[in-house]
């Protein structure tokens, strides 16, 4: 039976298990939106206020559900508005399929109205992209896009759809998606044995865990591995939730805004096992001093990450879940590193996270949030001080429940991501920890939250400045606060109410616990404007170019 290209897209999305898409209509995607209208009982479309919000929502949906996120935009400016969200997903290895409209095939390359070479623009920030010029190739292209987005190291794929392709008709044959198998073609017995030998002979092993463990659904295997080798573990920002914050083996984040404990452990260990992490500059800082006393074993599904930033002693290339399972099988006897674990515990007592600045208000507010959030809640963040405070002070117990823009550092990410997470997990609560600078970039998405009555809570850490940039200006630019003061008198509570969203205020003298509890009890969308002192800082911190051991804002415990 022949059907239109637009209907073929719908059938392929249903085949792939897609139940929700995020987007914004326009002329070049009218046939697709007409098909969505006719199939709204099969696929829910969430209309965002801006295409960038749609891409971030698809990203948050993917991170929080483990499924592929889907976003749709029209040609030209609609497509280019997706680019930041696509790049965000690319840097953080998020499976996403972006469907963009374009002008009809005969008009391609003629500078037609709202034409842009979106496949060329996004080539550096996608795993792959397609432009479909024959409707008979459409179904297989969509299927390939979903397969590529998920296999190996996940990431975004773009499919560009000229308008006439969605109008033409073609025979369609249903197909069952092939199982996505773990990538093991580069996994060798030799690399496993070499890694195992290093592990068994280490006296002070340390694990550095990244987002690859979460993407690879390998947290259970990691927990067993840590127990078998009797080692502590630190995480990157993207790895928050891969190891429970309540685990005695957990030492916190590592790197620029990590804990002194994690950074000391990385420097003191004799074997650093890096699992699903990529040696970001925000983790490594001064490369020549990073883990200088250790041999480094890197486990990663992406061979391009091996020896890219830091030279390793040994590497194992393959799906992290498979690799950890194989290593766990081969460790015949549980290893014991009592003295090393005692040293780690002594670091924890000596270097607790302390807060310098005018107050400890961010820690108090997030501590209160931790108490009132129901189990299994999801947290999204914006970027900057709010992001670091959320990573440092909240407990991250479940993989995929903490969503933040790590690699790209995208201001404006959190509200869209919270929308996507709430749509993908309607029975859970979702909180976006935001800063006032970031929220200025995405407060238009309150319209989306209100339209769909999503019970998202936006916790606005309001210090009336671009806090992280101001912190750098304070420390490294002699307090020259060039264009970072946000003293425009915005009443965020009134703004929320203008969108039909509840607004609350936490003043500096207020007890945040009761107000936060009241917000959760509403089971409706709420914006909470929290006053934060202007010069509260994110500590500890590693200055640019310094060793990760050399941290600013660290105090030793008086009880040590």
Residues forming a β-bridge with 503: 527
CB 403 within 8 A of CB 378: yes
One domain for residues 258 and 402: no
CB 252 within 8 A of CB 184: no
Helix (H) or strand (E) segment spanning residue 130: strand 128-131
**Active-site residue, from 11, 16, 22, 51:** 51
One domain for residues 271 and 342: yes
Decide if 176 is inside a domain.
no
One domain for residues 431 and 534: yes
**Active-site residue, from 127, 163, 260, 537:** 163
**Active-site residue, from 15, 67, 114, 223:** 114
One domain for residues 428 and 386: yes
CATH of the domain at 340: 3.40.50.1220
One domain for residues 346 and 451: no
Decide if 181 is inside a domain.
no
Q: Whole-model pTM?
A: 0.96
One domain for residues 316 and 418: no
Q: How far apart are CA 510 and CA 263, in angstroms?
A: 35
Boundaries of domain holding 390: 361-540
Q: How far is CA 202 from CA 191, 269, 290, 334, 342, in A?
A: 17, 9, 18, 13, 16
- Report the helix count and the strand count for the chain, using DSSP H and E: 23, 22
**Active-site residue, from 2, 38, 40, 113:** 113
Q: Is 91 a catalytic residue?
A: no
The structural domain count of the chain equals 3
Beta strands in 436-544 (DSSP E): 457-462, 502-506, 526-531, 541-542
Q: Is 494 a catalytic residue?
A: no
Q: What is the DSSP letter of 456?
A: -
Q: Is 113 a catalytic residue?
A: yes
Which of 316, 350, 384 is the last residue in one of the domains?
A: 350
The pLDDT profile of the chain, 560 residues, written as one tens digit per residue, is 799 999 999 999 999 999 999 999 999 999 999 999 999 999 999 999 999 999 999 999 999 999 999 999 999 999 999 999 999 999 999 999 999 999 999 998 898 999 999 999 999 999 999 999 999 999 999 999 999 999 999 999 999 999 999 999 999 999 999 999 999 999 999 999 999 999 999 999 999 999 999 999 999 999 999 999 999 999 999 999 999 999 999 999 999 999 999 999 999 999 999 999 999 999 999 999 999 999 999 999 999 999 999 999 999 999 999 999 999 999 989 999 999 999 999 999 998 877 665 568 999 999 999 999 999 999 999 999 999 999 999 999 999 999 999 999 999 999 999 999 999 999 999 999 999 999 999 999 999 999 999 999 999 999 999 999 999 999 999 999 999 999 888 999 999 999 999 999 999 999 999 999 999 999 999 999 999 999 999 999 999 989 999 999 887 766 54
Which of 171, 201, 231 is the last residue in one of the domains?
A: 171
One domain for residues 286 and 154: no
User: 422: exposed, middle or buried (C-beta count within 10 Å: 0-12, 13-18, 19+)?
Assistant: buried
One domain for residues 203 and 299: yes
One domain for residues 319 and 411: no
Q: How far is CA 193 from the centre of its chain?
A: 33
Q: How far is CA 188 from the centre of its chain?
A: 30
CATH of the domain at 491: 3.40.50.970
**Active-site residue, from 388, 411, 461, 468:** 468
Decide if 243 is inside a domain.
yes
One domain for residues 205 and 149: no
Q: Is 163 a catalytic residue?
A: yes
User: 490: exposed, middle or buried (C-beta count within 10 Å: 0-12, 13-18, 19+)?
Assistant: middle
One domain for residues 339 and 366: no
């Amino acid at each position: 039976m022949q059907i239109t290209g637009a209907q073929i897209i719908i059938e392929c999305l249903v085949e792939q298990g897609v139940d929700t898409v995020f987007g914004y209509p326009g002329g070049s995607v009218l046939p697709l939106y007409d098909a969505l209208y006719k199939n709204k009982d099969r696929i829910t479309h969430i209309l965002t206020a801006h295409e960038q919000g749609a891409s971030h929502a698809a990203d948050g949906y993917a991170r929080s559900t483990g499924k592929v996120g889907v976003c749709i935009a029209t040609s030209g400016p609609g497509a280019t508005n997706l680019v930041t969200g696509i790049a965000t997903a690319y840097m953080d290895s998020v499976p996403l399929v972006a469907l963009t409209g374009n002008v009809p095939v005969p008009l391609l390359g003629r500078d037609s109205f709202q034409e842009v070479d979106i496949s060329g623009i996004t080539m550096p920030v996608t795993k792959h992209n397609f432009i479909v010029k024959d409707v008979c190739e459409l179904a297989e292209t969509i299927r390939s896009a979903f397969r590529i987005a998920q296999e190996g190291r996940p990431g975004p794929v773009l499919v560009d759809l000229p308008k006439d392709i969605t109008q033409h008709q073609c025979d369609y044959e249903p197909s069952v998606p092939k199982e996505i198998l773990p990538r093991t073609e580069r996994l060798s017995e030799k690399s496993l044995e070499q890694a195992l030998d290093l592990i068994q002979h280490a006296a002070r092993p340390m694990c550095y865990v990244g987002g690859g463990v979460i993407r690879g659904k390998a947290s259970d295997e990691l927990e067993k591995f840590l127990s078998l080798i009797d080692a502590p573990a630190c995480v990157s920002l993207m790895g928050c939730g891969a190891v429970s914050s309540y685990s005695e083996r957990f030492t916190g984040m590592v790197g620029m805004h990590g804990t002194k404990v994690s950074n000391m452990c990385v420097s003191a260990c004799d074997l650093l096992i890096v699992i699903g992490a990529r040696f970001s500059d925000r983790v490594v800082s001064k490369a020549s001093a990073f883990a200088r006393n250790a041999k480094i074993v890197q486990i990663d599904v992406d061979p391009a990450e091996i020896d890219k930033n830091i030279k390793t002693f040994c590497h194992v290339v393959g799906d992290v879940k498979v690799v950890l399972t194989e290593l766990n099988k081969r460790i015949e006897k549980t290893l014991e590193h009592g003295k090393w674990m005692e040293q780690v515990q002594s670091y924890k007592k000596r270097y607790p996270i302390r807060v310098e600045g005018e107050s400890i208000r961010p820690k108090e507010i997030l501590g209160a949030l931790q108490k009132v959030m129901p189990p299994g809640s999801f947290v999204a963040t914006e970027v900057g001080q709010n992001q670091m405070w959320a990573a440092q002070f909240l407990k991250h117990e479940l993989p995929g429940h903490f969503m933040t823009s790590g690699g790209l550092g995208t201001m404006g990410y959190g509200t869209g991501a919270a929308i996507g997470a709430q749509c993908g997990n309607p029975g859970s609560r979702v909180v976006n920890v935001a800063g006032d600078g970031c929220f200025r970039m995405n407060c238009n998405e309150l319209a989306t939250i209100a339209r769909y009555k999503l019970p998202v809570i936006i916790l606005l850490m309001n210090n009336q400045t671009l806090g992280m940039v101001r912190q750098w200006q304070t420390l490294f630019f002699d307090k020259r606060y060039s264009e970072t003061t946000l003293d425009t008198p915005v009443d965020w509570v009134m703004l929320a109410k203008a969108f039909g969203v509840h607004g609350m205020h936490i003043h500096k003298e207020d007890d945040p616990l009761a107000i936060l509890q009241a917000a959760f009890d509403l089971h409706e969308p709420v914006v909470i404007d929290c006053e934060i002192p202007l010069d509260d800082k994110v500590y500890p911190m590693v200055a640019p170019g310094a060793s990760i051991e050399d941290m600013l804002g660290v105090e030793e415990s008086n009880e040590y």
